[in-house]
Copies of this chain bind each other. A is one copy, B any other.
Amino acid sequence: MKVTVSRKAYFNAAHRLYIKQWSEEKNLNIFGKCSNPNFHGHNYEIIVHVKGKVDELTGIVIDLKYLKQIIKHEIEDLLDHKNLNLEIKYFKEVVPTAENICIFIWNTLRKKIDNNKHLSVTLFETPRNFVKYSGN
């Protein structure tokens, strides 16, 4: 019997959509105000979904204290109150769209969760725009 366990978390960050292979002008043409050189920001909400077998004795899929801890150490401590473009190494090469931030979080958490468990990550950039990545 497999159950999906989901846990919400939050971080607030500044970013801009900017592709360094393009001119500043082309970035503004394509990304509009999302490419403001002075940055803007969001309250990002993430939902981490872990699917796996329910342990017969303990009735759990994953220790929630451990799940909270890796979300805090690996994601919140790294991204909260940061400028994604300037302060997160990964986003010096990769444009911090919601899609790419979600993939980054998935890749980071994947290393900390047993491979016999399935992982998905949902990332809300605003209450109206969100993305989900499951590893393929």
Contacts and interface: CB of A to CB of B under 8 A. Distances in A.
A119 interface: no
A3 interface: yes
- Specify how many copies of this chain sit in the oligomer: 6
A64 B20 CA distance: 20
A39 to B, nearest CB: 4
Contact of A100 (B41, B59, B64, B80): B59
Interface residues on A, range: 35 or more
A75 interface: no
Interface in A78-136: 80-83, 86-87, 94-100, 102-103, 126-133, 136
Contact of A82 (B36, B54, B97): B36
A15 B1 contact: no
Given A60-B99, A130-B6, A42 B39 contact: no
Contacts of A21: 57
Nearest to A5: B131
Given A59-B100, A100-B59, A103-B1, A6 B131 contact: yes
